Amino acid sequence: MAEIERIRGVLLDIDGVLYAGGRAIGGGKETVAWLASAGIPFRCVSNTTSRSRRSIAARLRTMGYDIDASWIFNPPLAAIRRLQGKRTFLLAQGDVGDDFLAAGVPLVEEGAEMVVIGDAGNSFTYRAMNLAFRAVLEGAGIVALEKDRYWMGADGLMLSAGPFVAALEYATGSEAAVVGKPSPEFFRLALEDMGVRPSEALMVGDDLASDIGGAQAAGMKTALVRTGKFRQDAFEASPIRPDLLLPSIADLPGALSKRYI
């Protein structure tokens, strides 16, 4: 294992790291409490684009995590910084629009200067796609909250935002700016909030490409956990190597307590 400098801040992925399949990972709450007691600041980073920060934090609290909404970093937060108050056509579902409205972003159907696309589910209608398309032809930029291909739903695989972003790119010839993980900008935004430099920060995630590869590109140290979507065969086939490989979030205090790992 590589030598890791003293870690001054931690980013925790949520789905697959703090919980999986709707249940808290064993030892997760204790690790979060340990970080607080050890004086190591942390933020929770999620690529979820169908829930507001408040919703995400509320869900974590029902699982026993002591997490404030302001500690949640999600793609809408990165998008809001990029929008700078421009009139926005938002193609998303759930209460994620609340994050934009709370930041004073005007959400419109016509005359949009920016088109923001998240995981919109049944809101991906032909009408909505045409509205987004026309806005881009009239000069609006495209911001993708994520560009994932699909996710596993209760009754089968479901298309994520990526394919619909690709559709809009094909129709318009414009390229979307992707603001969620694995965009380095996204990790830096969460680190800025703690005042921690990337080289002194550790990203803990279960996704090799999105969590580990993205954080490495941002200059961070990384820890891959064997929970959530971790698969041994995918790990062995990938060229991406984390600094740490942990059974779960429960093993983080032990790993950080060692000077050399």
- Chain residues binding its own copies by CB under 8 A are 120-127, 129-130, 133-134, 137, 149-150, 156-159, 162-164, 166-171
Cβ closest to its own copies, residue 23 vs residue 154: 154
Cβ closest to its own copies, residue 112 vs residue 191: 112
Tell me how far CA of residue 172 lies from CA of 129, 145, 147, 163, in angstroms: 12, 18, 17, 14
State how beta strands 42-45 and 72-73 pair: parallel
E strands within 14-108? Answer: 19-20, 23-24, 42-45, 72-73, 88-91
Q: 């808290």: which residue's tokens?
A: 24
Q: Which residues, at least 6 apart from 202, have a Cβ–Cβ distance to it below 8 Å?
A: 4, 7, 9, 10, 11, 220, 221, 222, 223, 243, 244, 256
Q: How far apart are CA 79 and CA 143, in angstroms?
A: 7
Q: Cβ 63 to its own copies, closest distance in Å? A: 29
Q: 């005042």: which residue's tokens?
A: 195
Cβ closest to its own copies, residue 66 vs residue 109: 109
Cβ closest to its own copies, residue 111 vs residue 163: 163
15 C-beta neighbours (distance < 10 Å), count:
19
Cβ closest to its own copies, residue 104 vs residue 173: 173
Which residue, among 226, 209, 205, has the nearest Cα to 217 in the 3D structure? 209
Alpha carbons within 13 angstroms on the beta-carbon side of residue 58 total 6
Cβ closest to its own copies, residue 165 vs residue 244: 165
